[in-house]
A and B are shown apart, each in its own frame.
Chain A
Amino acid sequence: MGLFLLKRLGVMALTAMVLTFVVFFLTNLQPNLEKVAKFQGNQRMTDAEVVSWIEKNGYGGPVVLRYAEWLGVYPGWRRVEEDGRIRGKCVKPGMEPEDIPRFCGLLQGDLGYSIVAKDEVVDIIGKRLAASGVLMFWVMIVMVPMALLVGVLAGMREGSRTDRSLSTFAIVTTATPEYISGVVLVVVFASSVVGLKWFKGSAASAVNDGVTFDNFTLPVLTMALYGMGYIARMTRASMAEVMTAQYIRTARLKGVSFRQIVLKHALRNALIAPFTVIMLQFPWLLTGVVIVETLFNYKGFGWVLVLSAGNNDIDMLIACSMAAVVVVLLTQLISDIGYVYLNPRIRIS
């Protein structure tokens, strides 16, 4: 087990490194740097000015070296201006020249500076991830029990009318992406057209004033609906399979009531497969988070991602992708380990 974990962690680290390098490379393409230069300097810079701006601000030189700078294994760039000031990657305002560290990158816990938010990336990303975490938490609270209930009810009597109608419901929800269900929910529950002004069509106030029923219902429902269909269908399939197993038949022949069979015998085995599915939903929840946060104007991780991608905020974008990749890889690891614990028939060799 220890060796397996070590190996998995090694692959994870390698994956994260390759992915961050890809993002680094893509955001540092010449036209993207020109965009940054014009955003930071001014829109009417000539081509020569753009080139010199890029050179002066540490964006020149080979990508690999600058990636090493970002990682913190290569000294950050530094330049002495004509008036004697020192500028560089590791220079923070108000620092004495002798205090400037040689390295400042991921390994030193420094993720750089966001040119859009004008702040340290570490501070912003932590805050935004926490905000998205709250959203995800509520989505999970709503989605998982609902999906399991629908799946179990549909799967315990395959082919019945309950099964048909619940399965159709599950298919309809998987066919409705967030940007559609969100729009429909807002029209029905938040606009003046239908008149049911039950909830707010924006979750912007949830960041500062806290989560309320008013501002959080619609975003949570939007995400939970799209995600639950898939889990429900997996649960249904797994439940239907278990219900045909020999030991269930034996229990039924013994005269155990249907209720007892479902609750005591079938449920535990039927919930192994959905566990993996639920864990693997996380990466895909991330995409949902981006859409829902844009739609409901909730300032979380997805909102920052869209903002920084639109302005090619390099440091911010890399930090976002790193956070996303780590979440994805961690959930994969947890789902693998959890699967082994839940299912004693499988042992890692």
Chain B
Amino acid sequence: MEPLGWGQIFAQVVAQFLPVWVALLILFALSIRFKRRLALYGKLFDSVMGMCGFFLVMFWLFTALFAQGVELGGATLIPSIATFDPLAQIAAMKNKVPGTFIPDSETTAYLLGGDNLGRDVFSRMVVGAQKVMSIAPAATAFAFMVGVTLGLPAGYFGGRFDTILSFVANLVLAFPVILLFYLLVTPEIRKAGTEIPIWLGNTWTTSIPNILAAVLFLFPVAFFVILWNSRFHTQPGKRTLLIVLTVLLGLWGYSGLAFNADPLGLFGMSPNLLNVFVSVVFVNSPTVFRIVRGITLDIQTRDYVAAAQTRGEGPWYIMLWEILPNARGPLIVDFCLRIGYTTILLGTLGFFGLGVSPESPDWGSTINDGRKLLSIYPHPALPPAIALMSLVLGLNLLADGLREESLKD
């Protein structure tokens, strides 16, 4: 059987993404229709660059959501984008060019060819989007929680607290990222430490990633508790309700994510993933800390802060409800850029084979696998490379669009 031509391959790939196109169409139609009522998000649709960026980002987000289809009660709601199991190997398909039909079939082909183990390049790329999209935004959000919770008081109070934290932040930033990853993301480091029994018969190893997780994952809970307390401490009923809810939810997630011992079994991360996740958060938070600290130093001198101080508001109220909302512009822009940077970092980790299982379809390791036979078979390495690039490009354009639109005010 002759392989498919490039035109047919292109048509089939586009058709395979049908659920994504439909979702994008609905999203864009609704957003443009109501853009005047949607504040900054709506304004994004006034800038072509911002819209292009948003399109690329949402494209990969929807791809990640629908990669393996959506099923509800046995019925397929949305068909899967991936055409094959990303881990399944067909020996006859090793390094086959794009559009080659699988043996004994005249209808199904490896759309973008097979890799050196005979796996479908297209499906691996699509499922790889899931890996990136599930880690990068979450890790960035955690880094922001840590950076904001520490950066605000460092900038606001200054003094010795600031000196020490800034020193530590600079310390982490002086490390070349790669070296830090080589030291922090290893199977050995996950083994180092003693096992101690915790609740429900689970055990917890006192290894460095686990300790880091236990510390870093506390920040979101602390952040929201302080946030509610500073705002509603004059309304004890509301405050207590919010704080109890936050603590309950927070500790539930915390027990699962940091200790892998969620009593309900909903939250949890494999030690591998936890190691990567924690390292990425750890590397990103000092930069966020420095940005937040800088903005706080700047905003602190404004009149509305002085007004709040004269009113007798507490320092945390001023930091979280006066300074933080006014710093949102640069922070949102940096958030977008940082997701892109985290995506690149995750790719780098995959590229060096750190913290990922050897079969993993994430883009970095697929590129690394593909580059060994690059000069003969370039097709396994190019699709994940283009995918990663377009996602990061989308995030950069989105950040630029947001920056431009927020400056227009």
Closest to B364 in A: A179
A168 to B396, CA, bound (A): 10
A296 to chain B, nearest CB (A): 11
Q: Among the listed B174, B191, B389, which residue makes an inter-chain contact with A180, where contact means beta carbons less than 8 Å apart?
A: B389
Which B376-402 residues sit within 8 Å CB-CB of chain A? 376, 378, 381-382, 385, 388-389, 392-393, 395-397, 400
Known A-B contacts A26-B183, A29-B188; A187 and B378 likewise in contact (beta carbons under 8 Å): yes
List the count of A-B residue pairs having beta carbons below 8 Å apart: 132
Which of A63-71, A242-250, A256-264, A321-329 is found at the contact surface with chain B?
A: A321-329
* Complex CA–CA separation, A341 to B143 (angstroms): 35
Total A residues in contact with B, Cβ cutoff 8 Å: 49
Inter-subunit contact B393/A172 (CB<8 Å): yes
Q: Which of B330-379 contact A (CB under 8 A)?
A: 340, 344, 347-348, 351-352, 364, 367-368, 370-371, 374-376, 378
In the complex, which residues 163-190 of chain B have their Cβ closer than 8 Å to any Cβ of chain A? Answer: 167, 170-171, 173-179, 182-184, 186, 188-189
| Minimum C-beta distance from A240 to chain B (A) | 12
Kindly state whether residue A208 has any CB partner on chain B within 8 Å: no
Known: A183-B385, A186-B374. Is A31-B348 also a contact (CB below 8 A)?
no
Asked whether B189 lies within 8 Å of A187 as measured between CB atoms, the reply is no
Q: Which residues of A contact B351 (CB under 8 A)?
A: 179, 291
Majority-rule SS of B interface residues: helix
| Dominant secondary structure of chain A at its interface with chain B | helix
Interface string of B140-173 (1 = CB under 8 A from A): 0000000000000000000000000001001101
- Asked if A15 contacts B171 (CB within 8 A), the reply is yes
Asked whether A283 is an interface residue with its Cβ less than 8 Å from the other chain, the reply is: yes
Residue B14 at the chain A interface, CB threshold 8 Å: no
Residue pair A191, B183 in contact (C-beta under 8 Å): no
Q: Using a CB-CB cutoff of 8 Å, which residues 1-35 of chain A contact chain B?
A: 11, 15, 18-19, 23, 26-27, 29-32, 35
Q: Are B392 and A175 in contact (CB under 8 A)?
A: yes
- Determine if A174 is an interface residue (Cβ-Cβ < 8 Å): yes
Q: In the complex, are the beta carbons of A329 and B178 less than 8 A apart? A: no
Task: Check if A306 sits within 8 Å of B385, measured CB to CB.
Answer: no
Cβ-based interface call for B192 (8 A): yes
Contacts of B400 in A (CB 8 A): 171
* Chain A contacts for B381, CB-based, 8 A: 183, 187
Smallest Cβ-Cβ distance to A26: which chain B residue: B183
In the complex, the chain B residue whose C-beta lies closest to that of A295 is: B371
Q: Is the pair B374, A191 in contact by a Cβ cutoff of 8 Å?
A: yes
- Say whether B375 contacts A180, CB under 8 Å: no
Instruction: Name, among B347, B392, B395, the residue most crowded by chain A CB atoms within 10 Å (CB to CB).
Output: B392
Whole-angstrom distance between the Cβ of A20 and the nearest chain B Cβ: 11
Chain A residues contacting B388 (CB-CB under 8 Å) are 177, 180
Given the interface contacts A19-B171, A171-B397, A176-B389, does A287 sit within 8 Å of B177 by beta carbon? yes
Whether B183 contacts A201 by the Cβ 8 Å rule is no
What per-residue 1/0 map shows which CB atoms of A318-339 lie under 8 Å from chain B? 0011001100110000000000
Extra pairs beyond A29-B189, A176-B393 (17, CB < 8 Å): A15-B171, A23-B179, A29-B208, A171-B393, A180-B347, A183-B374, A187-B375, A187-B381, A283-B173, A283-B174, A290-B176, A290-B178, A305-B179, A317-B183, A320-B179, A321-B176, A325-B175
26 contacts between A and B (CB under 8 A): A15-B171, A19-B174, A23-B179, A23-B183, A26-B208, A29-B189, A31-B189, A168-B49, A175-B396, A176-B389, A179-B367, A183-B367, A183-B370, A183-B371, A184-B385, A283-B176, A286-B176, A291-B178, A291-B348, A294-B352, A295-B371, A305-B179, A306-B182, A320-B179, A324-B175, A328-B174
